[in-house]
Structure 1
Amino acid sequence: MAHDSIPMARSAVLDGFETTARSCGLDIEALLRRARITPASLAEPELPVPTASIVSLLEDASVAAGNPSFGLLMAQARKFSVLGPVALIMREQPDLRSAVISLTRLGWAQAEALESALEDDGETAILTLTLAPELPRPATQTIELAVAAIVLMLRHFLGPDWSPQMLTFSHRRPADTRSYVRFLGVTPVFRMERNSIVMLTADLNRPIADADPAFGRQLERLVESVSRQRSTARSTQVAEAIRRMLLTGHCSATAIADLFGIDRRTLHRWLADEGVSFSQMLDQTRTALCAQYRREGSHNLTEIAGLLGFSSLSAYSRWRRMRKSASSS
């Protein structure tokens, strides 16, 4: 049975959240709990997190801190590497225009349901960011975080003193706009039709020093191949989540349900609709990983037990005996 998948993001999107929340004196665990985001997402950058949950988390954090600039502050605490494989692809493009186009084409690899598009009239270029309509509103902090992150990314290529020609936001103007000038170099125009970054076409034409475009194309084909192989089946998303969560030592049906912002009953219903169960998927994932680790020979049995999410070597041994017994019966 086909299902609409939930828009997900890499947990790397949360990079900078813990530092910013702590500096604002916030209760991080309470905020994560309310947004139904597992704390493991702050330590493991490749866990799937519902994009909607991230939007809600940032809005709640801004309100709790009494700071409408929470998203801007969070962007300052991040590194260019937060973009993961997309950052590598951008770095190997021949010029900034090609790098930005790569970002617009592969943005889904960072956060689904947040799209960008580039327009250029030969003198000025406009990069527009759009949130999918099914995401929660308001989403002020998410939009400002994304815009600030892109401005900082552009400075990575154009130099630390670069600023956009103009910024536009669809949300209301806050009472104090000094943080925009301090962090982004300009005061945005508010209550506009779209959220955008306006820059000179000449900036986009800047070459990227020491780039290897051939390597960039190889990386891009690899990422696109992953995209084509993606299944919209929810069980596929759950299988990847199990694989990631096993490494944290906290893989359970409840923990996986929390990743997707749902309860356990809903998770079990999802999987039952596709003819599988959580215990089957957990067992299959452990079996595949166990075979991989033993084949590689780089881990001892105690380490393998931990990597598969077992609390002890004896628990791992019992599981292996049960697997052997089941396969021989």
Structure 2
Amino acid sequence: MKPLARYASLNSYIDVSRSVGIEPIRLMRGVGLDPAGMALQDRWIPAVSVARLLERSAAESGHQDFALQLAERRRFANLGPLGLVIREEPDVRSALTILVRHEHMYNEALRMNMVVRNGLATIRIGFELGEQTETRQAAELALGTLHRLLRDFLGSLWQPIAVCFTHCAPADASTHRRVFGSTAKFEQEFNGITFYAHDLDVPNKRSDPQMRNYAYQILDSLDSQGETTTSSRVRELIEILLPTGRCSVEQVARSLGVDRRTVHRHLADAGETFSSILDATRAELAENLVENRRYSMTEIAELLSFSTPGNFSRWFRRRFGCSPGQWRNRK
């Protein structure tokens, strides 16, 4: 299955897109992402779709610094629950160790490692997206975000020794100079950040030992949930694809990087079928949508990918034993 990333990886995407004169909604749909999902930051989406969206956005806008503009707006909160843990770590070394060890909690495609040698610390990054695609923008987003997090710990005047990129320099490097100063290096052997090892021992003045205990309880509870199953991934993708009108086992399989037979086989091993998950997901969403009087029945039918309101009403009656209107009126 293809690795996934949290929707939070696209935080501020719509604002930055509009600021450089491109239409974010069209571009998101063009790579199979549902713009409505931006409100659900912890939802998972194919990481390769995020990488492609960033590349297309940079190309269409003519801004090679597109992902770096996103990185400038990053906060600890964009890491989800892991951000709570990192923020309470006692020093930079502990924070980075947690970040690297639990990278899968915010992006399954990201690979990070930290090496400390001869007085220098280097954090390298890479990507395993499940298929070939350009990652220039993804690398700039990841390193820009990491650079910002380090500055949050070490102060706004802190500078690394070097921020290294394997790709060539942009035609206009003004954003890179603003963010990294003179430390940005292009056409290097790796993507990563190098800084003095003594920075690792700088204490985190905002750390609260009591809050750290609570943060670790959250981390332990998330780790105990185990690996994401095929069923849960299919369910997430169905929720994302339903409003687009392109929710099919073929589309889900493409998003997971496999063929439909593989999806059916994995679901069968778990005692499920695509149809059963689709029906259960629709039912869960339908209950909430029908109770919300903001939506008309026609709008709900479209959001749940029914071809007509009549088809939705017949399905709803079979599922719940009454019409959508009757369900809404008795609530």
TM range (shorter): 0.7 to 0.9
Q: Confirm whether residue 208 of structure 1 aligns to residue 204 of structure 2.
A: yes
Q: Distance in 1 between matches of 2:156 and 2:183?
A: 18
TM-score (norm 2): 0.78
Q: Confirm whether residue 270 of structure 1 aligns to residue 266 of structure 2.
A: no
CA contact (8 A) 2:164 2:185 kept: yes
SS at structure 1 position matched to 2:208: coil
Q: Confirm whether residue 121 of structure 1 aligns to residue 96 of structure 2.
A: no
CA contact (8 A) 2:234 2:252 kept: no
Deviations 1:253-298 (A, max 9, x none): 62886677549x95587236633433311333466789xx9xxxxx
TM-score (norm 1): 0.79
CA contact (8 A) 1:268 1:278 kept: no
CA contact (8 A) 2:168 2:186 kept: yes
Aligned residue for 2:320? 320
SS at structure 2 position matched to 1:128: strand
Q: Confirm whether residue 9 of structure 1 aligns to residue 17 of structure 2.
A: no
Q: Distance in 2 between matches of 1:93 and 1:46?
A: 22
CA contact (8 A) 1:177 1:187 kept: no
Q: Distance in 2 between matches of 1:174 and 1:205?
A: 34
Shift in Å, 1:300:
11
AA paired with 1:174? P
Q: Confirm whether residue 159 of structure 1 aligns to residue 155 of structure 2.
A: yes
Deviations 1:2-47 (A, max 9, x none): xxx2111111111121111111111223312322222223232122
CA contact (8 A) 1:268 1:277 kept: no
CA contact (8 A) 1:113 1:131 kept: yes
Q: Confirm whether residue 223 of structure 1 aligns to residue 222 of structure 2.
A: yes
CA contact (8 A) 1:20 1:73 kept: yes
Aligned Cα RMSD in Å?
A: 3.4
Report matched runs for 1:246-285 at 5 Å. 250=243, 254=247, 261-262=254-255, 270-271=263-264, 274-275=267-268, 276-285=272-281
Name structure 2 gaps, 5 residues minimum: 302-308, 323-331
Shift in Å, 1:168:
0.9
Q: Distance in 1 between matches of 2:96 and 2:203?
A: 12
Aligned residue for 1:139? 135
Shift in Å, 1:230:
2.8
Pair 137,250 (structure 1): closer, same or farther in 2 beyond 3 Å: closer
Q: Distance in 2 between matches of 1:28 and 1:106?
A: 30
Shift in Å, 1:181:
1.6
CA contact (8 A) 1:96 1:204 kept: yes
Deviations 1:103-149 (A, max 9, x none): 10111111111111111126221111111274433211110011001
The percentage of counterpart residues that share the same residue type is 27
1:302 to 291, 294, 302: 291
Aligned residue for 2:27? 31
Q: Distance in 1 between matches of 2:184 and 2:53?
A: 24
SS at structure 1 position matched to 2:224: helix
Aligned residue for 1:182? 178
AA paired with 1:302? E
Aligned residue for 1:296? none
CA contact (8 A) 2:55 2:135 kept: yes
Name structure 1 gaps, 5 residues minimum: 294-298, 323-329
SS at structure 1 position matched to 2:203: coil
Q: Distance in 2 between matches of 1:267 and 1:245?
A: 18
Shift in Å, 1:241:
3.7
SS at structure 2 position matched to 1:6: coil
SS at structure 2 position matched to 1:89: helix
SS at structure 2 position matched to 1:250: helix
